[in-house]
């Protein structure tokens, strides 16, 4: 069931081999969902497939990104993080403490259509991030 639409299945459809390491990475992404760093994916993936190597994690993340199934985000972090790319992701990021909040609403459809045409681009997902100061950090600001 989830197999038909799952990340691993999508890899196969795209012509890539369905290997155990890839299935492990895909499963981690699907289970944990949000905001995973490559390191976290590696650790969790090894609980499923112990021999999983770091290189394979990066390679699989690249493949899934190219296919538009996941997407990197920035979260005030040293390392890249990934989210599954169903439609869009929307964050409110505090530039002081790094706290991140999510929200849902966003009407980018019209813009997507315009841009696709203008740049001959095939858009598969988007990221909308607002930067500012959160409730806690706001009072500490000097400016």
Partner DNA sequence: CTCAATTTGAGACTTAATCTCAATTATAGA
Partner DNA sequence: TCTATAATTGAGATTAAGTCTCAAATTGAG
Residues that bind a copy of itself (CB under 8 A): 10, 13-15, 65-68, 71-74, 76, 80, 85, 92, 94-96, 101, 103, 105-106, 108, 111-112, 114-116, 118-135, 138, 141-143
As given in the structure block, the two tokens for residue 16 are 């890539």
Whichever of 51 and 118 has its CB closer to DNA, that residue is 51
Whichever of 75 and 137 has its CB closer to DNA, that residue is 75
Region of 14-22, 26-34, 89-97, 109-117 interacting with DNA (CB under 7 A)? 14-22
Q: How far apart are CA 45 and CA 49, in angstroms?
A: 6
Per-residue DSSP letter, 139? G
55 binds, among a copy of itself, DNA, none (CB under 5 to 8 A by kind): DNA
What are φ and ψ of residue 49, in 5° steps? -135, 95
- Which of the residues 41 through 80 are near DNA (CB under 7 A)? 49, 51-56, 58-60, 78-80
Whichever of 74 and 121 has its CB closer to DNA, that residue is 74
CB atoms closer than 10 angstroms to residue 26: 23
Nearest to 90 by CA among 107, 66, 67: 107
Report how far Cα 135 is from the mean position of its chain's Cα atoms: 26
């Amino acid at each position: 069931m989830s197999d038909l639409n799952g990340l691993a299945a999508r890899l196969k459809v795209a012509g890539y081999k369905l290997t155990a390491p890839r299935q492990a990475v895909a499963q981690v992404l699907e289970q944990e969902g949000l905001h995973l760093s490559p390191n976290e994916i590696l650790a969790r993936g090894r609980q499923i497939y112990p021999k999983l190597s770091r290189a394979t994690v990066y390679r699989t993340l690249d493949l899934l990104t190219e296919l538009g199934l996941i997407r990197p985000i920035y979260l005030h972090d040293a390392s890249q993080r990934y989210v599954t790319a169903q439609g869009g992701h929307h964050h409110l990021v505090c530039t002081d403490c790094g706290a991140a909040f999510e929200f849902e609403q966003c009407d980018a459809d019209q813009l997507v259509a315009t841009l696709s045409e203008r740049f001959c681009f095939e858009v598969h997902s988007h990221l909308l991030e607002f930067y500012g100061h959160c409730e806690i950090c706001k009072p500490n600001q000097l400016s």
